Amino acid sequence: MIDEIELKKASNFYNIKCKLLPNQNIIIAYNGDDWLADYNSLTKKFILYHKNLRKNKTHKCQYHYQRSFKDIWYMLRYIKEHKRDYGCYRKLYKMNELFEKLEENSASKR
């Protein structure tokens, strides 16, 4: 069973909007993404699902499994820090694409 008071404390602390649904699921909206946390009463863990909304203009993508957590606080902290280093990885991805194009061009000229 999800403790609603603990959820409110944690969401206020991390400044994340959360809503507890009647079927013991939690809807979380933070920083342009949607999250769904499903509480499994057998394992006593929160199963976190993620849905990208920022660059998805059609909003047709589905939730995908992210991780499972034992604690509400740790789960919300994970959500808060999820996109923290994303910009660095994105720049690295672009650099790798450029290197691949250079290698393709140099191989085709030979």
Residue 110: is its pLDDT beyond 70?
no
For residue 64, tell me if it sits in a domain. yes
Residue 59: predicted pLDDT: 63
Q: Is 7 exposed, middle or buried (0-12, 13-18, 19+ CB in 10 A)?
A: buried
Residue 107 falls within a domain, yes or no?
Answer: no
Mean pLDDT of the chain: 81
Listed range (16-25, 30-39, 88-97) with the worst mean pLDDT: 88-97
In a domain, 109, yes or no: no
What's the pLDDT at 90?
55
When pLDDT is averaged across residues 92-104 and rounded to a whole number, the result is: 72
Distance (Å, rounded) from C-alpha 77 to C-alpha 11?
Answer: 10
**DSSP per-residue string spanning 1-27:** ---HHHHHHHHHHHT-EEEE-TTSEEE
Q: Show the domain range for 12.
A: 4-83
Beta strands in the chain (DSSP E): 17-20, 25-30, 33-40, 45-52, 64-69
Whether pTM exceeds 0.75:
no
Residue at 102 is within a domain: no
If one counts the domains in the chain, the total is 1
